[in-house]
Amino acid sequence: MIASVLFWISALVAVVAGALVFKVDSMARATYALALSFIAVGVAVLTMRQDFVGIIVILMMVMEMAIMAVFMISYMGMNPALMPMDMTHAKRPAAAIATIVFVGLGAAVLLIPWPVIDPQPVEGLTEQLGEAMMGSKMLVMLTVSPVLFATIVASVVLASPRGRYDRYGDRLRGPAHDPEPGGLGR
């Protein structure tokens, strides 16, 4: 009963906050509306007794949105909070496509005869997940970790304007010429 009420509150918050992301005219508020949507979904997952996934969604997404807000603000180059403006295109086709998708998927959800079982919380689910990731589903872990590592390298390569020649000069010697020295004096 309590879980049900909690779920509906969080579902409502998730959808409303999700809609607000594209409604508010402040970048900071848009980002944190998305964070709120993720927190609500995390709580909804918790009401379905998946502790680890629910908490991890909240952890990851709050962190991600804190970073995203910084990018939002630095790249917009202006403050829409002071200067309301419209940064959208193709609004009507977008709305049409979104509505069609909603109706289509919604109809599928309602029409499919789901083989529903009586939900029961699973004891020690987090441990099972860990065992699976490090045991029978090891391949997933083996794939995800190099992908994540490649992502770090790729994003730094894409984003960094300066390579080692910019830092150390043509002969790669001597102290680095950095606009801001790092903490280790390298």
Partner 1 sequence: MTLQLVLLVAVALFSIGLYGAISQQVVVMVMMGIELMVNAVILAAAALWWFLTPVVDIQVLLMVVIAAMTVEMAVGFGVATLIHRARRSDMTDDATELQQ
Partner 2 sequence: MAEYLPLIVAALIPLAVPVLALAAAGLDAALTARARGTSVAVGAARPLREITRLLRQQRRTVLGADRLLWRIGGVGLIVASFLAVIVVPFGDTVAADLPIGVVWFNTIDVALWALWWMLGWGANGAYALIGGYRFLAQALAYELPLMFALTAPAVAAGSLNVGEVADAQSGLWFVVSMPIAALVYLVSVAAFSAWGPFSPAAGRDLAGGVLGELSGIDRLLVKAGRWCLLVAGSAFAVPMFFGGGAGPLLPEPVWVVIKTVLVLLVLVFAGRAIPAVPPQRLAEIGWVVLVPLTLLQLLITSIVSATGTGGM
Amino acid, res. 18: G
User: What letters, b where the CB count within 10 A reaches 16 and e where it falls short, cover 89-112?
Assistant: eeeeeeeeeeeeeeeeeeeeeeee
In the bound state with partner 2, the residue whose beta carbon lies nearer, of 22 and 71, is 71
Residue 100 interacts with partner 2 (CB under 8 A): yes or no = no
**Contact pattern for partner 1 over residues 45 through 74, marking x by CB under 8 A:** x-xxxx-xxx-xx--xx--x--xx--xx--
How far from chain centre, in Å, is Cα 25?
20
CB of 64 to partner 2, least distance (A): 10
The answer to whether 47 and 3 have CB atoms below 8 angstroms apart is yes
CB of 79 to partner 2, least distance (A): 9
Residue 28 interacts with partner 1 (CB under 8 A): yes or no = no
Q: Which of 5, 19, 48, 70 binds partner 2 (CB under 8 A)?
A: 70
- Shortest CA distance to 34 belongs to which of 44, 43, 24? 24
In the bound state with partner 1, the residue whose beta carbon lies nearer, of 135 and 175, is 135
The answer to whether 52 and 126 have CB atoms below 8 angstroms apart is yes
The answer to whether 18 and 34 have CB atoms below 8 angstroms apart is yes
Residue 85 interacts with partner 1 (CB under 8 A): yes or no = no
In the bound state with partner 1, the residue whose beta carbon lies nearer, of 91 and 177, is 91
| Span from 5-13, 83-91, 139-147, 174-182 in contact with partner 2 (CB under 8 A) | 174-182
